[in-house]
Amino acid sequence: MSRGFGWHELLYVLRGLGWTLALSAMALTAGGLGGLIIALARQSRARLLRIVAGGFILLLQGTPVLMQLFLAFYGLAVLTGFRMDPWPAVILAFTLYAAAFLGEIWQGAIEAVPRTQWEAAHALGLRRHVILLRVVAPQAVRLAIPPTVGFLVQLVKSTAVASIIGFVELTRAGQLMVNVTFQPMLIYPLVAMLYFVVCWPISLLASWLERRLDVGRRPVGRMLGGT
Amino acid sequence: MERRNLLTAGTAAGLLAAAMATPAAAQGTAGSTAGGLSTLDRIQRNKKVAITAEVDSPPFGILDSDGKPDGSEIATARQLAKDLGVELEFVQVNATQRIPALLAGRVDIAISSLSITTERAKVAAFCAPHGALSIVVCGPKSSAIANAADMAGKRIALTRATLEEATVPKVAPPDTKLVYFDDIGPTIQALLSGQVDGAGMSAFAAKSVADRNPTAGIEVKFTVTTAYYSAMVRQADESLRHWIDTWVFVNSHNGVLAGIYEKYTGVKLPPLPAI
Amino acid sequence: MDYVFQFGAVWDHRWDLLDGAWLTLRLSGGAFVIGLWLAGMLAYARETAPSAVRIAIGAYTELMRNTPLLVQLFVLYFSLPSLGIRLDADAVALIGLTLNFAAYGGEILRGGMLSIPPGQIEAARALGLSRWHTFRHVVLLPALRVAYPALASQFVLMMLGSSVVSAISATDLTAITNTLQSTTFRSFEFYFTTTGIYLLMALLTRAILALGYQYLFPAARRNAPA
């Protein structure tokens, strides 16, 4: 007899949710670091650095996350002769993904700080990296917060793709429970609701922050739609 | 602006090409480590073996009520690790990942009802068979499929990288709509939700689906082929393969393999040939 | 194990991959066209309809934007049949992508519409233009001009996101790649190549859409980012 959907099954799904959150948090942290490096590289005076960083962003924004995952999963173990577990491969893929998107958002925020700020600081005799750190960064951070929070929603949703390679996060946990209980009508909408419960408050926060921080320019944040 | 895009596109391509060029230089040796240590030696030294766990494939691999892997192939893997005297690490895979995981070095042995076919033997090595299965097309009572020809115009679900994927299309009439999923779970779901008129899978899986869903009225329509299945290892791992062959030999004579097989499939283990 | 890269298998199947690329383009294109039309309706209704409808649209938009596309597809494909609604995988893929795109498109268009100064609308009405005419020429077309870059971006995002339809057995580039790699065991070679194909498609569509912008809105002030 197929099992009914009871406490055990619900707990399994919730554990999957836990993994989704853990994966998102790790990708955000490591990706945040990476994004910072990318954004700074894009500001660098060394042209090669700017181009490589730009190429990285283009590569990761111009290809599906699913493909990036497949490549990390199958490719890395082959390339390095290193026995990859699914967990590190998944973290790597989403970290790179987050680094590219955050790098672009933060670069956009840096560029959105009016040129006059740079010029004035320069006229005052401040050196380039000091200007970046003390004058531009604080303003850029303000501009960057709403789209960064918005991207967090994007990131959490994208982790669903990890289910396709068998990583047991929320979506896969739901799938496995459907296979065991044969109740897709109950479980998939439940899974959708769990994502909603996590993502919607973050979306609302992003909107509130955008209004509160009085960010006039739209393009950096709004263009981040995503699926 | 156009030039910058071109430049960054070129860099992106360059990054891809660089990623591709490195393995030509660095030969990924997942099977043998530097110093010529064989996989079997490495397993014994580290006291750890990694084996595939397909948990979406009843009765070979399922999840029990605690969410832990169970099933005939899971039990077989556990017994093998125990007899090898090492700790077992299960790596969850879906149907399409069984052999790639082995080739990529994520697992040392693939034990997931891998039927013996010459196609698969091109890329990895089969050990002595420890089980047998048959591939059938099954469906609800309302699907009128008595033989292969009746599949004409119907939707039949298949799982990728399985024996059914290799054999069912060969007997299906040209206007059959074959629908592919990456894992057995979704294939079963598609069958039960009525998205397809029939599905190809092992007879054991069909029985498992039918038993757990009496209201769906799933029945076996016809048999496509039969096969023996065995563990697989990488082609270079000869010592490991010999060990597993020996292990199968011993356990097919002391009733251990028969016991596991019968417990999960409900059927007596047929006599196992050598490979 | 010495992994020898064999791209020969990929080359042998190049036409299958190109077929797949075409399928993906067709699917995304279809979802874009229908989704854009739907988005226009939603944006209009969001401004003009009674509040019950507006709330419903808002709920729909928030739901689509805060749940993963993959899960939306699972619900459409696996859950709906329990209610008697059975749709074929490719149909579900198109519907799912369309509904998802319309939610984002609606928001983008709404943003564009809200950027039109109310004075323009009042002036148009004062000049005797009908509601429909006003909407079309004073609101919708300028809004489209403002929204175009974001919509173009969203199209590329959707096209890349469409790769998940393979999980419900719809046929697209990813699905074909999956089948090919599972029968030839050349996983890395195929995934690498297909990633390149997606990248090419993304770059090409972005370039074409950028050209389209110049063509459709020649008088527009070009301050859109790359």
Tell me what pLDDT residue A227 has.
40
CA–CA gap between residue A10 and residue A15 (Å, rounded): 9
Which of chain A's residues have a Cβ under 8 Å away from the Cβ of C72? 192
Which of chain B's residues have a Cβ under 8 Å away from the Cβ of C199? 12, 16
Tell me what pLDDT residue B24 has.
36
- Supply the ipTM of this predicted assembly: 0.87
CATH code of the domain occupying A7-222: 1.10.3720.10
B23·C86 Cβ contact <8 A: no
CA–CA gap between residue A121 and residue A127 (Å, rounded): 8
pLDDT digits (tens, 9 = 90+) for A110-147: 888 888 888 888 888 888 788 878 888 888 888 898 89
B56·A176 Cβ contact <8 A: yes
Domains of chain B and any CATH numbers: 39-132+230-265 (3.40.190.10), 133-227 (3.40.190.10)
Where residue A82 falls among pLDDT bands split at 50, 70, 90? low
Give the residue from chain C lying closest to B181, CA to CA.
Answer: C169
Cross-strand bridge partners of residue B29 = C2
Tell me what pLDDT residue A222 has.
40
Q: Which of B11, B49, B218 to mutate to test the interface with A (most CBs of A within 10 A)?
A: B11
Closest alpha carbon to C5 in B23, B120, B14: B23
Tell me what pLDDT residue B21 has.
44
Q: What is the mean pLDDT of residues C204-221?
A: 84
Tell me what pLDDT residue A75 has.
72
Which of chain B's residues have a Cβ under 8 Å away from the Cβ of A79? 19, 22-23, 26, 28
pLDDT digits (tens, 9 = 90+) for C156-194: 999 999 999 999 999 999 999 998 888 887 888 899 999
* Backbone angles phi and psi of B103, in degrees to 5: -65, -35
Tell me what pLDDT residue B23 has.
41
Which of chain B's residues have a Cβ under 8 Å away from the Cβ of A56? 12, 15
Percent of all residues in chain A with a pLDDT value above 90, rounded to a whole number? 50
Shortest distance between the Cα of C186 and any Cα of chain A, in A, equals 10
* A124 in contact with chain B, both atoms CB, cutoff 8 A: no
Ranges of chain B with pLDDT below 50: 1-2, 20-34
pLDDT digits (tens, 9 = 90+) for C10-43: 888 999 999 999 999 999 999 999 999 999 889 8
Q: What is the mean pLDDT of residues A28-46?
A: 92
Helix (H) or strand (E) holding B155: strand B155-159
pLDDT digits (tens, 9 = 90+) for C63-97: 999 999 999 999 999 988 888 888 889 999 999 99
Tell me what pLDDT residue A116 has.
87
Choose among A3, A57, A79: nearest Cβ to B22: A79
Name, in order, each residue with C-beta under 8 angstroms of A95's C-beta and a sequence gap of 6 or more.
Answer: A26, A27, A30, A31, A34
B22·A180 Cβ contact <8 A: no
pLDDT digits (tens, 9 = 90+) for A84-98: 567 778 999 999 999
Q: Which residues of C5-16 are buried (b: 16+ CB within 10 A; e: fewer)?
A: beeebbeebeee
Q: Is B120 exposed, middle or buried (0-12, 13-18, 19+ CB in 10 A)?
A: buried
The DSSP 8-state label assigned to residue B157 in this structure reads E
Contact, A56 vs A68, CB < 8 A? no
Residue C6 has pLDDT above 80, yes or no: no
Domains of chain C and any CATH numbers: 8-216 (1.10.3720.10)
Q: What is the 3-state secondary structure (H, E, C) of A182-216?
A: CCHHHHHHHHHHHHHHHHHHHHHHHHHHHHHCCCC
Tell me what pLDDT residue B6 has.
58
CA–CA gap between residue A63 and residue C194 (Å, rounded): 9
Tell me what pLDDT residue A143 has.
87
Residue A171 has pLDDT above 50, yes or no: yes
Tell me what pLDDT residue B170 has.
92
Q: Which residues of C123-161 are buried (b: 16+ CB within 10 A; e: fewer)?
A: ebeeeebeeeebbeebbbebbbbbbbbbbbbbbbbbbbb
Domain ranges within chain A, ordered by starting residue = 7-222
Contact, B90 vs B77, CB < 8 A? yes
Tell me what pLDDT residue B34 has.
44
**Subunits that touch chain B (at least 3 Cβ pairs < 8 angstroms)?**
A, C
* Backbone angles phi and psi of B63, in degrees to 5: -110, 130
* C7 in contact with chain B, both atoms CB, cutoff 8 A: no
How does DSSP assign C108-148, residue by residue? HHHHHHHTS-HHHHHHHHHTT--HHHIIIIIIIHHHHHHHH
Tell me what pLDDT residue A209 has.
87
Cross-strand bridge partners of residue B140 = B218
Contact, A161 vs A225, CB < 8 A? no
Tell me what pLDDT residue A111 has.
87
Tell me what pLDDT residue B228 has.
94
Tell me what pLDDT residue B8 has.
62
pLDDT digits (tens, 9 = 90+) for C105-148: 999 998 888 888 888 888 888 888 887 777 777 887 888 888 99
CB atoms near residue C22 (< 10 Å): 13
Choose among A12, A54, A168: nearest Cβ to B8: A54
Tell me what pLDDT residue A182 has.
79
Strand B87-92 to B131-140 pairing: unpaired
Where residue A223 falls among pLDDT bands split at 50, 70, 90? very low
Give the residue from chain A lying closest to B14, CA to CA.
Answer: A55
C191·A62 Cβ contact <8 A: no
Contact, B137 vs B156, CB < 8 A? yes
Helix (H) or strand (E) holding B125: strand B125-126
Contact, C192 vs C149, CB < 8 A? no
The DSSP 8-state label assigned to residue C3 in this structure reads -
Mean pLDDT computed over every residue of chain C: 88
**Subunits that touch chain C (at least 3 Cβ pairs < 8 angstroms)?**
A, B
Q: Is A2 exposed, middle or buried (0-12, 13-18, 19+ CB in 10 A)?
A: middle
Residue type, B94: N
Shortest distance between the Cα of B184 and any Cα of chain A, in A, equals 9
Closest alpha carbon to B190 in B167, B217, B156, B164: B156
Q: Which of B51, B52, B63 to mutate to test the interface with A (most CBs of A within 10 A)?
A: B63
Give the residue from chain A lying closest to B23, CA to CA.
Answer: A79
Residue A46 has pLDDT above 50, yes or no: yes
CA–CA gap between residue B171 and residue B135 (Å, rounded): 12
* Backbone angles phi and psi of B195, in degrees to 5: -70, -25
